[in-house]
Structure 1
């Protein structure tokens, strides 16, 4: 797998994903629910990359995706389509920035138990459109480089590491982290539209460059 797609792990957890991780460390049982959340993220990222790699493997049998260095290859055309979708998402988010609110399920996580945290981490990665696009990009990259799922292990590990940052901050800084996290959570809730746009821009830059 090309190291070019490795930074996409940041996009995997940006937005509501990292907000969920921050909310979970402010709950009554932060360690247990956060570990369950991380397990869900790990399972979903692994399954998602496996599925997208399989999709492009099937496509590659009938359509030559071309080499990663060939900008006119089918694989790159797919990436350009993803870029167009991201640009449309940016314009839509900016136009509706005044009315954009974080998903209601984020607030419900304040009372989450480990089972709900696990389910949230799993479904959020598999169903979030931005994460689906990231995993499609990774799957296409794996196929172009004729690499197996094992080559995506670093990408998956970095994704889980980013998801674990709020928990690691809590374990390392304890009381200071407990005081800071609610403020970070509230800021991200207020500026969720801006975070979404930044994530899309990062994704576009990584794909094109």
Structure 2
């Protein structure tokens, strides 16, 4: 895996993903819920990378993908298509900013059970189109590098670390975090469109670099 893929872990957790992590920290059983959520994120990321590595292998078997230093091939064409999709998604979020609201299911997480937190961790990765695009990009990068799923360990670890930041802040700065996290949560809820636009632009820059 090439180094430039690692920052995509930030994009993986941008939007409802990190908001969910913050909500669990502000819930009644923050540590249990957060650990269950992280378990779901880890399982979903590992499974997603493995599946997308297989998809990249199938694409590579049909048409040469191009090496890590080669900018042509099917892999590059797919990346350009991903860039177009991300641009459309960024424009959609920007145009809808005036009426943008967080998903309704986010408001129910404060009363979630550990099982619900686990399921949320799975779904915020595997059911989010932006994360599926990231995972496909990682799969294509692994294919170019001739690396198996084990090569994605740094990416998986980085994603898990970012997902764990709210919990780590809670454990280290307990009282300050209890005071600050609800404000951060509310700001992210009201500016979710901006978070999504920034994530798309960062992702595009990384793909084109």
Per the normalisation by structure 1, the TM-score is 0.99
RMSD, aligned CA: 0.6
Task: State the Cα distance separating 1:150 from its structure 2 match.
Answer: 0.5
Q: Do residues 66 (structure 1) and 66 (structure 2) align?
A: yes
Within a 5 Å distance, the mapping from 1:1-209 to structure 2 comes to: 1-209=1-209
Task: State the Cα distance separating 1:172 from its structure 2 match.
Answer: 0.1
Q: Residues 84-117 of structure 1, C-alpha deviation per residue, up to 9 Å, x if partnerless? A: 0000111111111111110001110010110000
Deviates more, 1:61-70 or 1:30-39: 61-70
Per the normalisation by structure 2, the TM-score is 0.99
Q: Residues 4-41 of structure 1, C-alpha deviation per residue, up to 9 Å, x if partnerless? A: 10100000001110000000000110000000000000
Task: State the Cα distance separating 1:68 from its structure 2 match.
Answer: 2.0
Contact 1:66 1:73 in 2 (8 A): yes
**How many residues are matched?**
209
Moved >2 Å (runs of 4+): none
Contact 1:68 1:75 in 2 (8 A): no
SS at match of 1:28: coil
Task: State the Cα distance separating 1:44 from its structure 2 match.
Answer: 0.1
* Separation in structure 1 between the aligned mates of residue 104 and residue 201 of structure 2, nearest angstrom: 25
* Separation in structure 2 between the aligned mates of residue 52 and residue 100 of structure 1, nearest angstrom: 31
* Separation in structure 1 between the aligned mates of residue 54 and residue 107 of structure 2, nearest angstrom: 35
SS at match of 2:157: helix
Deviates more, 1:175-184 or 1:57-66: 57-66
* Separation in structure 1 between the aligned mates of residue 68 and residue 84 of structure 2, nearest angstrom: 19
* Separation in structure 1 between the aligned mates of residue 17 and residue 124 of structure 2, nearest angstrom: 7
Contact 1:68 1:76 in 2 (8 A): no
* Separation in structure 1 between the aligned mates of residue 74 and residue 60 of structure 2, nearest angstrom: 10
